């Protein structure tokens, strides 16, 4: 069975923002909200790297355990989703997530932040229901990875993308691009 994951290749990311734009356009994510962002580590220093940060759809997702309303769940294929009808905006998921994936429309105290939103692997848009109140569900096809010009963000079956990453790392090692190796 397929287990969907993301794997960022920080040696390839150039912080062009294509992943962020593709996500916002595909999922109609409003201004101020981000399902993915690129973070620069050691900016302006040796070892600087750009890291595409999104929900990593963790195997043992701490956000699921932190949610008092059981609004967050994991599908059989590993995709972690939030049911906005159940979310009370408490923010516990944001405290539990090591990747900063949970986002809220507003800032403020308990339950005043609005409903939580995060990456859904493009299976659900920002507004989860259509005009008839029916939940919208699409095939897993994350646009952020599809539109990445340098293929820095790998998405797909965990085993397949791990094999691609290992192959890339082996090539960098052969070329002497991995320091200390």
Mean pLDDT along residues 93-112: 86
- Give CA–CA dist 115/122, Å, rounded: 18
> Is the model's pLDDT at 94 over the cut of 60?
yes
Mean pLDDT along residues 82-90: 94
Instruction: Quick: pLDDT tens for 131-167.
Output: 999 999 999 999 999 999 999 999 999 999 999 999 9
- Give percent of the chain with pLDDT exceeding 90: 87
Q: Which sequence spans correspond to the domains of the chain?
A: 4-174
> Is the model's pLDDT at 177 over the cut of 90?
no
* Global confidence as pTM: 0.91
So what's the pLDDT on residue 32? 87
So what's the pLDDT on residue 130? 94
Give 53 or 176, the one with higher predicted confidence.
53
So what's the pLDDT on residue 181? 57
- 80: CB partners within 8 A, 6+ apart: 55, 57, 58, 61, 63, 64, 72, 73, 74, 118
Instruction: Quick: pLDDT tens for 164-173.
Output: 999 999 999 9
So what's the pLDDT on residue 178? 74
Instruction: Quick: pLDDT tens for 12-39.
Output: 999 999 999 999 999 999 998 999 999 9
CATH topology of domain 4-174: Alpha-Beta Plaits (3.30.70)
- Give percent of the chain with pLDDT exceeding 70: 96
Longest dimension (CA), the chain: 58
Measure the CA dihedral 78/80/83/86, to 10°.
110
């Amino acid at each position: 069975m397929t287990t969907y994951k993301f794997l960022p290749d920080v040696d390839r990311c150039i912080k062009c923002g294509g992943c962020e734009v593709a996500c916002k356009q595909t999922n109609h994510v409003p201004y101020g909200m981000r399902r993915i962002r690129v973070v620069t580590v050691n900016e302006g220093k040796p070892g600087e790297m750009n890291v595409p940060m999104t929900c990593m759809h963790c195997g043992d997702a701490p956000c699921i355990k932190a949610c008092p309303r059981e609004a967050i769940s994991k599908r059989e294929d590993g995709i972690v989703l939030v049911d906005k009808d159940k979310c009370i905006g408490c923010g516990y998921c944001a405290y539990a997530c090591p990747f900063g994936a949970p986002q809220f429309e507003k800032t403020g105290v308990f339950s005043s932040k609005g409903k939580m939103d995060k990456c859904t692997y493009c299976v659900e848009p920002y507004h989860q229901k259509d005009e008839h109140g029916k939940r919208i569900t699409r095939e897993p096809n994350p646009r952020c990875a599809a539109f990445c010009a340098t293929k820095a963000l790998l998405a797909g079956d965990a085993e397949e993308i791990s094999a691609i990453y290992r192959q890339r790392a082996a090539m960098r090692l052969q070329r002497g691009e991995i320091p200390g190796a």
